[in-house]
Amino acid sequence: MATSPFANHIVFADNRAKAVVIENKRRYCGNNIDTKQLYMHKVDGGLISDTTKSKCDFLLLSYSKSEDSAYFIELKGTDFVHAVEQILSTYQELKSQLVDFKLNGRVVVTKIHAPDLSNSKLDRLKRILKQHNGTFNKAEKNFEENI
């Protein structure tokens, strides 16, 4: 059984069928179709307790025989740009412990405003994730994917 590089602030650690986090009517759901070992960590106020640092809400780690993946998850109101900043900041803080992981960013917002869709921080985040064979995705209110 794979273990998380982070020993604390674990929301769950098992091979459940669905990895779900909900905050203020925003929901992320990762369908664990291959029954991978999963670790969901609380980041904001958990793995990163420094209140001066911007950080995302959750970090989902998924372990399989072929590839280990990390999902930086931010459940946000309407400030999409700030959500991107939070994921970037969390990546900077935790990257040394996630060297061998495929890195992914996920943002679930109440509403996406058109001007927020393209900015230099988002472009930077997408480049970083691509370097780690990962992706960035966003959704309004509910995001569901196979992990």
Is residue 79 in some structural domain? yes
User: Is residue 63 classed exposed, middle or buried when 0-12, 13-18 and 19+ CB atoms within 10 A define those classes?
Assistant: middle
* Range(s) of the domain holding residue 70: 10-146
Residues with Cβ within 8 Å of residue 126, at least 6 apart in sequence: 136
Is residue 3 in some structural domain? no
Given a contact cutoff of 8 angstroms between Cβ atoms, the answer to whether 27 and 138 are in contact is no
Cα Rg for the chain, rounded, in angstroms?
Answer: 14
Is residue 1 in some structural domain? no
H or E stretch covering 91:
helix 80-94
Given a contact cutoff of 8 angstroms between Cβ atoms, the answer to whether 5 and 120 are in contact is no
pLDDT for position 119: 80
How many domains in the chain?
A: 1
pLDDT at 1 over 70: no
Is residue 45 in some structural domain? yes
Is residue 86 in some structural domain? yes
The mean pLDDT of 59-83, rounded to a whole number, is 94
Encode pLDDT of 113-139 as tens digits.
765 556 889 999 999 999 999 999 999
Is residue 65 in some structural domain? yes
Provide the whole-model pTM.
0.94
- Between CA 39 and CA 94 the distance in angstroms is 15
